[in-house]
Amino acid sequence: MNNQQLVALAQKYGDPLYVYDANKIEEQYNRMANAFSTVNKLKINYAVKANSNINILKVLKKLNSGVDCVSIQEVKLAIEAGFNVKDIFFTPSGISFEEMEQAVNLGVQITLDSLSILEKFGNKYPTIPVCLRINPHVMAGGNHKISVGHIDSKFGISIYQIEGIKDIVKETGLVINGIHMHTGSDIYNIDAFLHATEILLNTVKEFDTIEFVDFGSGFKVPYKEGDIETNIEEMGITLSNRFNEFCKEYGRDLTMIFEPGKFLVSSAGSLLVKVNVVKPTPNIVFIGVDSGLNHLLRPMMYDAYHHITNISNPEGTEKIYDIVGYICENDTFGSNRSISEVSENDILCIHNAGAYSFSMASNYNSRYRPAEVMVYNGEDYLIRKRENFDDLIKNQVIIDLE
């Protein structure tokens, strides 16, 4: 979408506003499917946590995607979006056994990531096949907060506990039908990923009942011009060759699974915000906008970079600004940014806001969460209404203290 189209959407639906390009999501999905097209059995499971709007899920279902869910609520959203339970994979961590039992009752594919839950599950549901999430003890990802496969991570069963897994399987008769790993987000080092892959495949060899291997995801997307990204095409060639070779060694065609979130939806999303104030100080010119960490937490939580442009005045003289939010915290979207000259009421576009953006939004400072719009084949659709005051108080129970 060009600047004029985005400004028109902000005028039509108000601001701040999340806008998603569904055709871009399709493009990313097809790019990934093509990269691994030489694998006989490939399944792409969209990571719902990245963006859980039901309409985004519907777009992916139309592409024959499956889904990866980390909560029972995400499972129910996927069912609401029309996914068959056989295409829903449940990969939680640290949940109650009661929540796990809800997943059992719904009939989705379950992944377990602790020995204690594995034993408890095996004793109660020995006839239900499960996947194992292992921790390969490989440090990969953009930073420590989004690296989840290292030795001190809470996720997965350590590769050093394989014998414990096999003891539980022997005692309970439980069938292990899949092996899973996820090393982290923003992975661009293919060698590190391939190293973890060998650990994963070696784990598969420990069991003779495996039907699929889930490689997780976390592929890095570019956040600015010239930014490093995962070369998905190169990885596709290398990893597909290794996987096909392994299937021959194992004696059957296994299904290769990925669970991308950011890779599919990040670049499809934009957050449009209006400039409330241009505030010069002795050292910095602050641009205060009608949004904050309550709408987009990633820059503050992960030190994530999001490119920011002035779509109201794209050809203006570039000046240096700090773009900040309206929350009573240091909610800085970008520091020392070169942007076309900004005036009050201009619309700025915060790019790559399709993943882990609205899904992490809150009502902090009692602010409303924004509306969401999806553009598909040239048509725009409101897919979430803007909140109002009634939404803030609808679940509060007002008591009489007189």
Render pLDDT for 166-188 as a digit per residue (tens, 0 to 9): 999 999 999 999 999 976 545 56
Per-residue pLDDT at 184: 54
Segment 279-285 shows an average pLDDT of: 97
Segment 118-134 shows an average pLDDT of: 97
Catalytic residue among 69, 247, 328, 349: 328
Residue 13 has pLDDT above 70, yes or no: yes
pLDDT digits (tens, 9 = 90+) for 204-215: 999 999 999 999
From 132-146, 276-290, 343-357, the region with the lowest mean pLDDT? 132-146
Per-residue pLDDT at 141: 44
Segment 350-373 shows an average pLDDT of: 98
Distance of CA 349 to the CA centre of its chain: 21
Structure tokens at 348: 């700025």
Residue 162 has pLDDT above 60, yes or no: yes
Report how far residue 353's alpha carbon sits from residue 359's, in angstroms, rounded to the nearest whole number: 10
pLDDT digits (tens, 9 = 90+) for 28-71: 999 999 999 999 999 999 999 999 999 999 999 999 999 999 99
| 298 marked as part of a ligand binding site | yes
DSSP 8-state code for residue 328: S
Per-residue pLDDT at 142: 45
Please indicate whether residue 247 is annotated as part of the active site. no
**Phi, psi dihedrals of residue 41, rounded to the nearest 5°:** -125, 110
Per-residue pLDDT at 217: 85
Asked if 340 contacts 316 with a C-beta cutoff of 8 angstroms, the reply is: yes
Per-residue pLDDT at 143: 39
Per-residue pLDDT at 192: 77
pLDDT digits (tens, 9 = 90+) for 185-199: 455 667 878 888 899
Per-residue pLDDT at 185: 47
pLDDT band at 146, cuts 50/70/90?
very low
Residue 331 has pLDDT above 50, yes or no: yes
Per-residue pLDDT at 182: 76
| 101 marked as part of a ligand binding site | no
- Residue 317 has a CB neighbour count (10 Å cut-off) of 7
Query: Which residues, at least 6 apart from 353, have a Cβ–Cβ distance to it below 8 Å?
Result: 18, 266, 269, 270, 271, 296, 306
Segment 300-311 shows an average pLDDT of: 96
pLDDT band at 153, cuts 50/70/90?
low
DSSP 8-state code for residue 316: S
Structure tokens at 353: 């806001």
Per-residue pLDDT at 226: 82
pLDDT digits (tens, 9 = 90+) for 64-74: 999 999 999 99
CA atoms within 13 A on the CB side of 69: 28
- Residue 309 has a CB neighbour count (10 Å cut-off) of 18
Mean pLDDT estimate for the chain: 93
Per-residue pLDDT at 148: 41
| 302 marked as part of a ligand binding site | yes
Q: What is the dihedral of CA 174, 175, 177, 182, to 10 degrees?
A: 30
Residue 309 has pLDDT above 60, yes or no: yes
CATH of domain 269-393: 2.40.37.10
Counting Cβ atoms within 10 Å, is residue 399 exposed (0-12), middle (13-18) or buried (19+)? exposed
Residue 152 has pLDDT above 70, yes or no: no
Into which CATH architecture does domain 36-262 fall? Answer: Alpha-Beta Barrel (3.20)
The model carries a pTM of 0.93
| 381 marked as part of a ligand binding site | no
- Please report, for the chain, the start and end positions of each structural domain, with discontinuous segments joined by +: 36-262, 269-393
